[in-house]
Chain A
């Protein structure tokens, strides 16, 4: 392995495929893959490259200060145009954002109190969490990672049920089919392929389901990332791949995962469209993801959206982020906080008054209280559950082992009888 000493942005731009002239994508030269969406660029009046490559800048609608940017400064360009979401959509998203922040902080506190085993917090990434769930319609599927608890709850799963794995239980809590949410996935990017399969099955049945599959920046190095994007593209499936680039895979920074011009640029290699968006700008996220979902539902094939954000806290409570990053770097991102930005924006637009703010705060407090109560309760465990669901019906071998454990427990429960019998 070579350790490149030249990872400057200038160098990276120079090696990017974006600089290459239009050429190999001509449909007349190459037999298009089944279902490749060569009509899309025509529809937008742009070249295939301009359709697939992300816009030159990331999409940002609201500045970190909370100021709405002028349309021409939002990063859009022909074929990459985004509508400002409606007031109702933004207020609802803000409500979920406030709840999401409260959920993150409550769960971290519960871990410190020993009431939960572990919690990978999405503190700082809540705008991504909220937008990922809200851009979907009823019946659409979400495939989250372990850091996406807030997205899972935003999609409608009960908060306490969502935390089942993190409180140390043996199962995922919720039924994925109830809210079309996969169980939060730990082996990186493996869930992206499940998203592809769900979309494929839906397409074969002629349903208009869209699937949003989440992963992080580190996960883009995994083989399943490549296989999932390629399968989705080849089979022309309605999957939105949503990468939360929070700059770190535990301790390893993005520069050691990829030297691509951006993660969104990877899309062009699969023949799909990519886009970059400010991951701390809820307005831009809603605009970009809403459009991606609409395009996918309309038959565009898969899309890749990279959100530029930051993991404000350590990987989990078991991690020590001071070993690999500077406080000054974290402080810079404090100024870009998605919640503060959204609140300032809504207030400046006259969309959020004190009454609304306190209603939302009450709602967030109610969810936090639900978590405290729910996770404070002892959930009785049945050791026989260990055997019950390994197969749809227990095998003879599992029945024997279940009987052995039951016998052990029966003897433990009645030690005195055993003694007196002797």
Chain B
């Protein structure tokens, strides 16, 4: 079945909805989501969205920009970071105008609080920059953007899973998707396609990510010869609920919570004397791993405590109600009186599909755009987060670059016609589905995924080295072989979610391989990528972005210079 649209947006989280709102009224637009839009993972973001409104104290977008660049370990492209921090301000006001129920200051302005790595006067002290709605900011952003989409009659295809992107004569011609309800394969012939399908945290055992975050958008594009940028940089959030990985927002530490080891020491004093518990996430996660490794985990186990007991009932009830409830529900711990067991949790892919500041997908080190193809949000790499993202900046990113990409795509569909659709455009997607449904193999997806998640957690998470990564590379090869024999017991048409999980696992396996190859190549430590065998940052050789291409001979790595405008790389201390 072929349907024709001016533009198709893939994914209905913050970035996709923001893009769709820009496209609405400019043509015939469809938004495809493998979920119902309000189930998207933007809704799980908690602590806030960073913008230098200065509602509680002096603040400037230049300070926000400096913090973002320094937080990125100088790998972010500074032209993009400048746009991010300037446009953050108007974006937050737009959200307020659309009805987002921000928490308020006594004068009725948008409330703001401190967050990791956000400072005043270029690093002097923490600043209140994170605009929040209790600890449900992401939920409110997702709801508000979806409400605007209802108002503007945006057309959604819910529970459609994208299997392939169509590239014809150097242009994007559409996508092929699988309708979960019917099992039918649909071709969406489109002038522009905008991927906003989120991250791939489910390649790790302990993750804050939803089950659905399997990197589908990244994998689908990568298989069509488009590179993935900086995939070795994966953020581990310091405070995930022990074993489950459920996120406990940095807002807790923003409100004053303290990390403690088994000796009850505030160990961050040793690692970041100025910002302490509000140091950036990569540093805090490494500090926790070191404490555990040196025997100071609680009861000798692999977790430490997040202590909120001194914050008081009012702060927990009004400013951190959800995470307080998570601790009660999932751990049986009362945060008012007991410390909460936490461990770092796989949280965010800094890397992704390379784009320019208009959200256009670029395919080489010269930033050549692929006409008609766009990406925004976690699936993309602009790059505003470089080697480590600051808290609150993912919400800024999805909205600022969701909007910019949507606006550019709106212009594009006015000025361009459809690229011709090739013969049997859906054949790759059809083959992939029928291969699984007709498989005579005996492998279960869950068994392969278990090994993948455990191995990635063990060898490619907070600490890495050549030996572990090399072993991991071999292991991934074995898993790829096993995946060829994977089966689906469910061979039905309607809501075959087992088939979907098999397809998702294929994406994770491809992306894990890209991550490992990129991590092996980068023989330095920077931001979220820490090599124990190369513990120092090496700007002379490695101040550059990685581009990983799938070729017939395996993965080919190329490199792209970093855009540096205002801030020269310096040693990163907090």
Please indicate whether A and B come from the same complex rather than being unrelated chains: no
Show the binding face of B for A, using Cβ within 8 Å. none
